[in-house]
Amino acid sequence: MGIPGNLVTTAMAVMPHRDVDRALPAALSLDVPFWPQLPLLSYYEDMYVQASGHFPGILADMEKRTLRFSIEKFIIELEDTLAHFEDPRYFDISDTYSVVYQRFLQMNLSDRVAIRGQLEGPISFGLNILDQDHRPILFNDTVRSFMLDFMAKRLNTQLNRLKVLNPNAFMFVDEPGLQYIFSAMSGYDSITARQDMERFFSGVERPRGVHLCGNPDWDFLLGLDLDVLSLDVYSNGEIFVSYAKSIQRFLERGGHLIWGIVPTNFEPFEKESIKSLEKRLLGYWQILERSGIDRQMVISRSMLSPATCCLVNQDGVQTVEKAFERIKELSEVLRDHFAV
Q: pLDDT tens across 161-213, in order?
A: 999 999 999 999 999 888 877 665 556 777 888 899 999 999 999 999 999 98
Confirm if 136 and 187 have CB atoms less than 8 A apart: no
Residue 182 has a pLDDT of 64
Residue 190 has a pLDDT of 77
Residue 191 has a pLDDT of 81
Residue 216 has a pLDDT of 87
Residue 80 has a pLDDT of 96
The larger pLDDT score, comparing residue 134 to residue 177, is at 134
Q: What are phi and psi of 298, to 5 degrees?
A: -60, -50
Q: Is 90 exposed, middle or buried (0-12, 13-18, 19+ CB in 10 A)?
A: middle
120: which strand partners?
Answer: 174
Collapse the DSSP code of 292 into the 3-class scheme (helix H, G, I; strand E, B; otherwise coil) and give the result.
coil
Domain positions in the chain are 8-338
Confirm if 118 and 172 have CB atoms less than 8 A apart: yes
Half-sphere exposure of 24 (CA within 13 A, CB side): 13
DSSP string, 68-121: EE-HHHHHHHHHHHHHTTT-HHHHSPPGGG-SSHHHHHTS--TTSS--EEEEE-
Residue 18 has a pLDDT of 96
Q: pLDDT tens across 38-80, in order?
A: 999 999 999 999 999 999 999 999 999 999 999 999 999 999 9
- How many residues appear in the chain? 340
Name the DSSP class of 175.
-
208: which strand partners?
Answer: 171
Q: pLDDT tens across 112-124, in order?
A: 999 999 999 999 9
Q: pLDDT tens across 76-112, in order?
A: 999 999 999 999 999 999 999 999 999 999 999 999 9
Residue 35 has a pLDDT of 97
User: In sequence order, what are the residues at sequence separation of 6 or more whose Cβ sits closer than 8 angstroms to the Cβ of residue 211?
Assistant: 12, 118, 172, 173, 174, 175, 229, 230, 231, 258
Q: What are phi and psi of 294, to 5 degrees?
A: -60, 130
CATH number of the structural domain 8-338: 3.20.20
Confirm if 116 and 258 have CB atoms less than 8 A apart: no
- Would the pTM count as exceeding 0.75? yes
- Cα–Cα distance between 205 and 267 in angstroms, integer? 39
Within its chain, how far is the Cα of 148 from the centroid?
17
| Tally of CB atoms within 10 A around 35 | 26
Q: pLDDT tens across 292-336, in order?
A: 999 999 999 999 999 999 999 999 999 999 999 999 999 999 999
User: In sequence order, what are the residues at sequence separation of 6 or more whose Cβ sits closer than 8 angstroms to the Cβ of residue 19?
Assistant: none
Residue 209 has a pLDDT of 94
User: In sequence order, what are the residues at sequence separation of 6 or more whose Cβ sits closer than 8 angstroms to the Cβ of residue 153?
Assistant: 85, 88, 91, 203
